[in-house]
Chains A and B, each alone.
Chain A
Amino acid sequence: MSDFDFDIIRRSWPILRDATWVSIELFIASLVLATVIGFVLAIMRVSTIAPLRWFAATYVWIFRGLPALVILFFAFFWLGNSLGLTPFQSAILGLSASSGAYKAEIIRAGLLAVDRGQYEASEALGFTKAHYMRRIIIPQGIRVMVPNYVSNSTLLFKSTSLATVIGLNELTGRARQLANSTFQPIEILAAAGVIYLAITSLMTLTQGFIERRFALKN
């Protein structure tokens, strides 16, 4: 084995850096959309209207039952092709449709973890449902959701790598191209790994911080 060549990493850095930004942009856009999808589905699943519950349950069953890659294929080969979307737009749709199903379960679990007495007391006080969900239940449910929400978001960040299969030049795909063209896969792929580790570790640290921030103060 040849010696580890730091110089190739230094020379490839501008390309890796730009690709990292593509990954981060894809992550943020998908996270926002996935959160909206997850929130709407979670509210539907605790709704009193049965067809809304069935729809949300079916969505969650299908999108959690399929590999994210297959959902991405749908978004790119079928939806993207029919609507004329860019690979970046297709990737956002695919990743958030998949991640939204997991977010829905996390948000629902948070809402169900709120004590029944809080619902009953809100109703006894004459709050409307929209009012007490927004002011009483959701703020308390957030505390329960935070750890799972953040660790699920770390998964989503790693899943942005899947976009490479639909031709998006994000970090994993770029690193692979560079590994091929420089014939130095050991260094280039390790550099990409270090970038991912830095970002995911930062997210884990943020998770600890947010959990403390939302912890009950006794």
Chain B
Amino acid sequence: MDVGFIIDIMPDILKGLSTTVRLFLWSMLISTPLGLTLALMRLSPVGPFRWIAGFYSWLVRGIPLLLLMFYVFFALPEFGEAFLLSPFWSAVAALSLWTASYQAEAIRSGVLAVDPGQFEASEALGMTKFHYMRRIVLPQSVRIIVPPFTGNAINTLKQTSLATVITVPEMSLFTTRIISREFKALEPLLALAIIYLALTTVLVFAQQGLERAFRLKV
């Protein structure tokens, strides 16, 4: 193993860092409201809302993310010009659809974990459902949602690596290019692994910080 070579190629791989981070941030930005909507649909008293959200969750969680990415990239454009997305936005779309299905479960189980007495008391006080969900139930459920929500976010960061298969120039793509150019695998892969490990470790610390911030103070 050549440590000098790891350091030499690090800048080449870091060229993909901003794309990796942008894939992650866009996917989080889109999947969070989508996941919240799906969670509220699953908790809705309206049957069709529950069925649609349940079907969505079953469908997206039942297939590999890679297949979803291929579908968005190769099959969707066949439905019409409007669906012809660049590799980057295809990856963001697939990652967002995928992350949202997991965030919906995290949010739903958080809401269900709130004491039923809180729902009953809110209704007894004459609050509308919209009002008490927003002011009473969701704020309390945030505490329970934070750990699985951030866990899913860490998974999404790792899954951005799949965008390499539809030629998005993120870190993994640069690494495989270096491997085929230099005929050396260990050093480029170690450099890539160090960067990913640093990113996920930072997110794990952020997760622990958020959990502390939302912990009940007694």
Contacts and interface: CB of A to CB of B under 8 A. Distances in A.
A69 B161 contact: yes
Contact of B179 (A1, A2, A77, A185): A77
Contact of A159 (B63, B64, B204): B64
A179 B77 CA distance: 13
A162 interface: yes
Interface string A1-27: 110000000000000000000000000
Contacts of A41: none
Interface residues of B, number: 37
Interface residues on A, range: 35 or more
B172 A196 contact: no
Closest 7 CB pairs of A and B: A77-B185, A161-B64, A67-B158, A67-B161, A185-B75, A158-B64, A185-B74
Contacts, number: 114
Given A65-B201, A67-B160, A172-B70, 17 more contacts: A1-B80, A64-B200, A65-B197, A66-B200, A67-B159, A73-B175, A77-B189, A78-B185, A165-B164, A175-B67, A176-B74, A179-B75, A189-B74, A192-B67, A193-B67, A196-B63, A200-B62
Interface of A: 1-2, 61-62, 64-70, 73-74, 77-78, 81, 158-162, 164-165, 172, 175-176, 179-180, 185-186, 189-190, 192-193, 196-197, 200-201
Contacts of A160: 64
A78 B186 contact: yes
A67 B162 CA distance: 9
Given A74-B189, A179-B75, A196-B64, A62 B70 contact: no
A73 B171 CA distance: 13
A179 B196 contact: no
B66 interface: yes
A103 to B, nearest CB: 16
A1 B78 contact: yes
Interface string B155-175: 000111110110000001001
Interface string B190-213: 001100110011001000000000
Q: Which of B71, B80, B159, B176 has the most CB of A within 10 A?
A: B71
Contact of A185 (B64, B78, B192, B197): B78
A77 B62 CA distance: 29
